[in-house]
Amino acid sequence: MANFAIDAVKATTYDAIVIGSGISGGWAAKELTEKGLRTLVLERGRDVKHVVDYPTTMLNSWEMEHRGQLPLSVRQENPIVGKCYAFNEGSAHFFVKDAEHPYVQEKPFDWIRGYQVGGKSLLWARQTQRWSQFDFEGPARDGFAVEWPISYSDIAPWYSHVEKFAGITGNKDGLDTLPDGEFLPPHEWNCVEKYFSQQVASKYKDRHVIMGRAAHITKPQPIHLQQGRAQCQHRTICERGCPFGGYFSSNASTIPWAAKTGKLTLRPQSVVHSIIYDEKKGKATGVRVIDATTKQMIEFYARIIFVNAAALNTNLVLLNSTSNRFPNGLGNDSGVLGKYVAFHNYRAGISAEYDGFLDSTTEGRRPNGPYIPRFRNVYKQETDFLRGYAAGFSAYRMSHTNQDGFGADLKANLANPTLGGWGVGSHMMGETIPKETNYVALDKDLKDPFGIPQLKISIDYDENDDKMVKDYQEQMTEMFTAAGFTNIRLRDDHRNPGLDIHEMGGVRMGKDPKTSMLNKWNQLHHCKNVFVTDGASMTSTSTQNPSLTYMAFTARAVDYAVKEMKKTNL
């Protein structure tokens, strides 16, 4: 019988385990398997294979039962995920429905999730900006939260590493506030967007309107063709899954690449319960998993573990990983696990009109648009709020459809709309400040369908966020007015935190183990063979979309972990 037990352990033992198969988990799988490690990737949701499991990707709206819209009953059953801009009939199967994974809202929080192989990499907005040194210096400069243990120079080569593989489109803009990357040809401007960029450049020395940087292949390179990916077709239905692999996702890119090494074992329907800590060995030895189909508990073992379950679920896993050594969660000697969670403030927007360029319009679609990098509090503190905001911008030709008439006359009117002037719009993406009062914790009584404690979320805006909204609206109004835009309208929709889908922190990096969970290598201070490289690891949020930074952190951490394994330090 002893031999059977040994054989059973061998069959469930790997060199590395990765928890989660989304953007960062996929990168962990790719990097680990490329370096020769037998790697188990655990995904709590179902399997989704590239192309094969994108059921709506080639359908026109009229080919769907509800013409792309969701029935009222589905909306009513999903008041949280139903708020997401990408939740529709063509993509609903990639979203977690409200009843499937309950959580406790101590304060209103819209938690948007995607439980399947690929996670939210099938659903993300694909915006990919590097951080600058100003972003990494933020906490040290204003003394709020803790200092980052790394600088831009530490991560820059890893940005290049992941950009070349993923395929990022953009311009070489030469901005110290937004470093250039390894870019494919940029997307095109329309005439009003270009006009606004020129107007801002002529009136402001420190403000720039650039073409956005996005994870779309505009000109395939050999590395993309090797992945089996093709040029982006600008269909703008990315949330259904792209059969061309035109945008970066784990499903189209990193997971198949890892599988080709022969070192990958992918296990869907595997809900991670906790990480196993061996007190005698002083390290983690494996992961406890609940099989989503049988509800049985299974244990898997490995020398190193990468936790990439997405920010809040990564917090949940570590909080639930208790032992005599770590009664408050794995590695939580500092007591900060689950605390100092932050997000991006998308509450505010502005729209207006422009009467120029009436001889021009646009044709076709585009999966990207212009971007305004942060310009407030960059070189010095100049406002009554901390940090700053970035913004999106777009312009479009408005039209009017005459709905008068009957029969053939009505059809003719509907088929021939008349062009109006140009509409313009912008939305903000503000940096929120990590605070101890913004936290997640395990509920003491409520369990999820797998018997795991539900996550209690207590996250909210503060006065700093309100001041930032006000400043964004004032500054954008000034810029719109200077460009000759008219009928300017402001928006603050007071949306709940979470709908930005950029939650970060709770397992933050830092220099001091007394005030942080991870060191500069994304390694738990007090459990050296466990690494966290998804959004949970973020010390602050900056204003940039975060996924590119997760990818770079993951590749860098894997490189370090494997070198440490070879030195027998792990």
CA gap 160, 150 in Å, rounded: 17
User: Region 458-480: what's the mean pLDDT?
Assistant: 98
Return the pLDDT at 409: 85
Indicate the pLDDT class of residue 5, thresholds 50, 70 and 90: low
Terminal CA-CA length for the chain = 31
Q: What tokens does 557 get?
A: 């951490």
pLDDT tens digits, 96-135 = 999 999 999 999 999 999 999 999 999 999 999 999 999 9
pLDDT of residue 7: 66
Residue ranges of domains in the chain: 190-211+345-431+461-496
pLDDT digits (tens, 9 = 90+) for 397-444: 999 888 888 899 888 888 888 899 999 999 999 999 999 999 999 999
Position 109 scores a pLDDT of: 98
Tokens of 391: 């913004």
The token pair that represents 470 in the structure block = 């006000």
Write the burial class of residue 79 (CB in 10 Å: 0-12 exposed, 13-18 middle, 19+ buried).
exposed
Q: Mean pLDDT across the chain, nearest whole number? A: 96
pLDDT in tens, 237-284: 999 999 999 999 999 999 999 999 999 999 999 999 999 999 999 999
Whether residue 1 is predicted with pLDDT greater than 60 in this model: the reply is no
Give pLDDT, residue 416. 86
Does pLDDT of 569 surpass 70?
Answer: yes
- Distance, in Å, from the CA atom of 303 to the CA atom of 309, rounded to the nearest integer, reads 19
Tell me the per-residue pLDDT of 129-155, one tens digit each, with 9 for 90 and over. Answer: 999 999 999 999 888 889 999 999 999
SS3 assignment, position 120: helix
Taking the C-alpha atoms of residue 350 and residue 355, their distance in angstroms, rounded to an integer, is 17
